[in-house]
């Protein structure tokens, strides 16, 4: 690789030297003033062919699992900072050529280097480059056809640039020949861009191979049947996670899209967090295979890990991850009361006995049923329980009064004062019931969070001492306590 780099450095100086730049129509680049394109072009090409190691790695791993890349090799969209940085000097150089003036300048022409010698050096450098690429393409087991096609395109455009530059060297002041060099340089830029993006795809496939390897071990870990296999498989999973995380981090840093970088960062964190949890849950499932809650926990953790792998796979390829919309939350007493308040304000012209009364009464009874469940809870104080019952009766009577007023105003264009008073009274009773329900919720929170560690501590102590009967009893208490905690965390009003 070092010998190749040394040869390319001298020969690329020759390639750049025959290209006209800026406003000068002659071959004015002196040998002691190399173009800024030299070193950058060299680094670009070395970047392309340094993929040989990755290709050898893929040649081994692709025999186990074929990887499908969901990207178009002909797409010239640059997705990474590396490709963008390596292409930037070439783009600047070609842009300079494209934007050159149509008429030659009056500047004093400099002495050019010997064109024939330079062209021979360019040809030698090009063939050395293509020879190296062909050897890599022959050994490749992935993207072989695309890589071969990209090399052929670079060979074609390099030959075209060589011919155009040779003609330009014979007559550097002839504008059409200069324009021909510009077009040839632009075509070569497109060919090199495609080859560089193809090299970036090989990096992506290397990452996807590690995703696939982690996936296989992950599936094995889910289906282990004994503690010995569990420990061995988890150790293997840890090593593969370390390798996958390293490559995913490199891809994360290189991607231009902030959203895709954030997605990979979140997925990496999820894998690190959930892998130890999966080990613990699988271990517990082996000991207690009949516990449904453990199986549910295992399924949840596995789903989190699988989602993280999918995110890394998609984001590394530039594919937008589809966010699953959250499930709609169940209706609460608060939302039901809000909806009732909105529905009681009606136009008297649209009110009918057959439709309006059953609809509003049904909604109110559903609210009262929920309030009754809260009132009957063991955490609700007796005083608050009585107040909830009283407010339920009051709001039920307020609705009947309101419906009677609506019937009296049927067919009228405007609501009467009596009807407006009935609406206001119904809203007031709704607020009174809501206030009592909130006080009951405070009772729940106070009792549930008074000492949250006691049920867990006694369960742990029973487990340490091996008292199976007490474990079952305390487990039931702990489940009941956690249910109350959840209810207190997400109050209905």
Domain around 355 = 333-444
Q: Rounded to an integer, what distance in angstroms lies between the CA atom of residue 84 and that of residue 193?
A: 9
Q: Rounded to an integer, what distance in angstroms lies between the CA atom of residue 433 and that of residue 374?
A: 12
How many CA atoms within 13 Å lie on the side-chain side of 5? 12
Chosen domain end from 262, 282, 316: 316
Regarding whether 456 and 484 lie in a shared domain, the answer is yes
Regarding whether 354 and 487 lie in a shared domain, the answer is no
Q: Does residue 214 lie in a domain region?
A: no
- pLDDT for the residue numbered 326: 44
Regarding whether 337 and 292 lie in a shared domain, the answer is no
Q: Does residue 174 lie in a domain region?
A: yes
Q: What angle do CA 277, 281, 285 make, to 5 degrees?
A: 170
Q: Does residue 391 lie in a domain region?
A: yes
Q: Does residue 126 lie in a domain region?
A: yes
- pLDDT for the residue numbered 80: 82
Q: What angle do CA 485, 376, 394 make, to 5 degrees?
A: 120
- pLDDT for the residue numbered 382: 86
Regarding whether 271 and 163 lie in a shared domain, the answer is no
Domain count, the chain: 4
Chosen domain end from 144, 172, 202: 202
Regarding whether 132 and 146 lie in a shared domain, the answer is yes
Chosen domain end from 284, 316, 348: 316
- pLDDT for the residue numbered 221: 92
Q: Rounded to an integer, what distance in angstroms lies between the CA atom of residue 422 and that of residue 419?
A: 5
Regarding whether 227 and 165 lie in a shared domain, the answer is no
**CATH number of the structural domain spanning residue 312:** 1.20.120.230
Regarding whether 106 and 150 lie in a shared domain, the answer is yes
Task: Provide the CA 204 distance to its chain's centre, in angstroms.
Answer: 15
Regarding whether 458 and 427 lie in a shared domain, the answer is no
Mean pLDDT by 10 residues, the chain (493 residues): 35 37 34 35 44 43 53 65 72 56 50 52 61 70 77 84 77 78 78 77 87 94 90 94 94 89 92 91 84 82 93 87 51 81 86 87 90 81 89 93 89 86 92 89 63 68 81 79 60 48
Task: List the structure tokens of 460.
Answer: 């742990």
pTM of the model: 0.53
Regarding whether 361 and 437 lie in a shared domain, the answer is yes
Q: Is residue 218 within 8 Å of residue 177, measured between CB atoms?
A: no
Regarding whether 394 and 307 lie in a shared domain, the answer is no
- pLDDT for the residue numbered 350: 83
- pLDDT for the residue numbered 439: 85
Regarding whether 122 and 49 lie in a shared domain, the answer is yes
Regarding whether 185 and 70 lie in a shared domain, the answer is yes
Residue with tokens 């009056």: 106
Q: Does residue 207 lie in a domain region?
A: no
Q: Does residue 241 lie in a domain region?
A: yes
């Amino acid at each position: 690789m070092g010998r190749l780099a040394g040869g390319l450095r001298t020969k690329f100086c020759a390639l750049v030297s025959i290209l006209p730049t800026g406003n000068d129509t002659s071959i004015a680049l002196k040998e002691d003033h190399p173009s800024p394109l030299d070193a950058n072009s060299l680094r670009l090409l070395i970047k392309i062919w340094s993929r040989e190691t990755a290709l050898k790695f893929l040649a081994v791993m692709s025999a186990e699992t074929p990887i499908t890349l969901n990207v178009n090799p002909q797409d010239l969209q640059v997705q990474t900072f590396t490709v963008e940085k390596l292409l930037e000097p070439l783009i600047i150089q070609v842009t300079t050529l494209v934007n050159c003036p149509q008429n030659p300048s009056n500047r004093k022409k400099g002495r050019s280097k010997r064109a024939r010698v330079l062209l021979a050096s360019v040809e030698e450098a090009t063939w050395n480059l293509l020879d190296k690429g062909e050897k890599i393409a022959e050994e490749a087991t992935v993207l072989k056809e695309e890589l071969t096609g990209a090399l052929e395109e670079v060979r074609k455009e390099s030959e075209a640039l060589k011919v155009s530059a040779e003609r330009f060297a014979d007559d550097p002041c002839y504008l059409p020949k200069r324009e021909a060099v510009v077009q040839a340089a632009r075509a070569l830029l497109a060919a090199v861009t495609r080859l560089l993006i193809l090299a970036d795809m090989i990096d992506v496939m290397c990452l996807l191979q590690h995703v696939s390897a982690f996936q296989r071990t992950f599936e094995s870990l889910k289906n282990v049947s004994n503690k010995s296999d569990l420990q061995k498989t988890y150790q293997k999973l840890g090593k593969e996670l370390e390798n996958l995380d390293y490559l995913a981090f490199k891809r994360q840093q290189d991607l231009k899209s902030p959203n895709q970088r954030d997605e990979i960062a979140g997925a990496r964190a999820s894998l690190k967090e959930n892998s130890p949890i999966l080990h613990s849950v699988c271990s517990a499932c082996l000991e207690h295979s009949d516990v449904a809650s453990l199986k549910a926990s295992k399924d949840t953790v596995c789903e989190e890990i699988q989602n993280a792998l999918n995110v890394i796979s998609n984001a590394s390829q530039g594919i937008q991850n589809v966010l699953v919309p959250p499930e709609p939350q169940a209706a609460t007493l608060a939302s039901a009361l809000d909806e009732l308040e909105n529905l009681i304000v009606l136009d008297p012209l649209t009110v009918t006995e057959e439709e309006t009364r059953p609809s509003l009464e049904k909604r109110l009874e559903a609210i009262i049923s929920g309030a009754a469940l809260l009132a009957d809870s063991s955490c609700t104080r007796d005083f608050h329980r009585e107040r909830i019952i009283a407010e339920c009766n009051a709001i039920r009577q307020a609705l009947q009064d309101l419906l009677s007023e609506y019937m009296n105003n049927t067919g009228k264009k405007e609501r009467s004062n009596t009807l407006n008073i009935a609406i206001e009274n119904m809203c007031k009773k709704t607020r009174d019931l809501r206030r009592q329900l909130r006080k009951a919720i405070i009772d729940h929170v106070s009792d549930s969070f008074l000492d949250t560690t006691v049920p867990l501590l006694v369960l742990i102590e029973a487990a340490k001492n091996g008292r199976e009967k007490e474990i079952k009893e305390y487990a039931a208490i702990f489940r009941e306590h956690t249910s109350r905690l959840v209810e207190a965390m997400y109050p209905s009003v």
